[in-house]
Amino acid sequence: MSRLPLVCANWKMNHTASEAARFADDFVSRMAAHRDALNESVEIAIAPAHPALDRLGRSLSDSEIHLAAQNLHAEESGALTGEVSLSMLVDLGCRYALIGHSERRQLFGETNEDVAAKALRLQGSAVRPILCVGETLEERESGATLEVVDGQLSAVLDVADGLASDLVVAYEPVWAIGTGRTATPDVAQEVHAALRKVLSKRLGAGADQIRILYGGSVKPSNAGELLSQPDIDGALGGGASLDPEAFASIVLASLEPS
């Protein structure tokens, strides 16, 4: 089963709306030079901070590059100061939303139940979830990696069981995020294959269509090798994706995995 790779940038709390527009001009022109090769070979998305969504969306409107949100609230509306709802993201034209990023889990106390509620909100909508899962260094060293990621994925599948191929999973080992330390392709593949098994058990043949991205210090120099693994269907990039040249190289690596 061939899955269309997805390469998504997660800018975190970086780039103002003006900087996002400048990035888009540069990045779109780099991608235009590869239009034929890119066409139907890879999907690209960028998740800016919420204040840049509108401006970035306008800058990307003539391109095939999708807009993604970094987060949303599970409630549809209400007295929730500082939060952002699904309908706001739909209105801005978002195609994807990250849920369960490890920074949300670790710094903002999001639980598996919170993440599952967000997935349920996204189910059946125009915005597809990119569910982030991953273990801490302590969990890896204690041999709990597969149990942790299974728990994070299963918590979502228990609640939002109608997501099917709209679901994208991103395996992001916490010890590799922003540390410059990347999982080796073999280590990442092992976890991706285990995640695929969980998906198959729960969803049957439909699991073959679900993309599992790798994230954690992805750079132009390691993207090709990571993306050549059979169960790695794209990348979620943080730091390197802030630079249009580096992000373009990661996207191009998805076309020619080494």
Of 191 and 236, the one with the shorter C-beta distance to ligand PEP is 236
Say how many C-beta atoms besides its own lie within 10 A of residue 105's C-beta: 20
Choosing from 5, 173, 215, 244, the residue that interacts with ligand PEP (CB under 6 A) is: 215
Of 57 and 238, the one with the shorter C-beta distance to ligand PEP is 238
Choosing from 218, 246, 252, 253, the residue that interacts with ligand PEP (CB under 6 A) is: 218
Is residue 47 within 8 Å of 60, Cβ to Cβ? Answer: no
Sign of CA dihedral 121, 122, 123, 126: positive
**Would you name the residues annotated as active-site residues?**
101, 172
Confirm or reject binding of residue 10 to ligand PEP (CB under 6 A).
yes
CB-closest chain residue to ligand PEP:
238
Of 123 and 217, the one with the shorter C-beta distance to ligand PEP is 217
Confirm or reject binding of residue 236 to ligand PEP (CB under 6 A).
yes
Report how far residue 77's alpha carbon sits from residue 91's, in angstroms, rounded to the nearest whole number.
Answer: 14
The CB-of-222 to ligand PEP minimum distance in angstroms stands at 11
Confirm or reject binding of residue 177 to ligand PEP (CB under 6 A).
yes
Is residue 149 within 8 Å of 173, Cβ to Cβ? Answer: no
Of 177 and 252, the one with the shorter C-beta distance to ligand PEP is 177
Work out the burial of residue 204: count CB atoms within 10 Å of its CB; fewer than 13 is exposed, 13-18 middle, 19 or more buried. Answer: exposed
Extended strands (E) in the chain: 6-10, 43-47, 66-69, 94-99, 128-133, 168-171, 211-215, 234-237
The CB-of-221 to ligand PEP minimum distance in angstroms stands at 13
Choosing from 134, 216, 234, 244, the residue that interacts with ligand PEP (CB under 6 A) is: 216
Is residue 114 within 8 Å of 146, Cβ to Cβ? Answer: no
Confirm or reject binding of residue 70 to ligand PEP (CB under 6 A).
no
Binding site for ligand PEP (CB under 6 A): 10, 172, 177-178, 215-218, 236-240
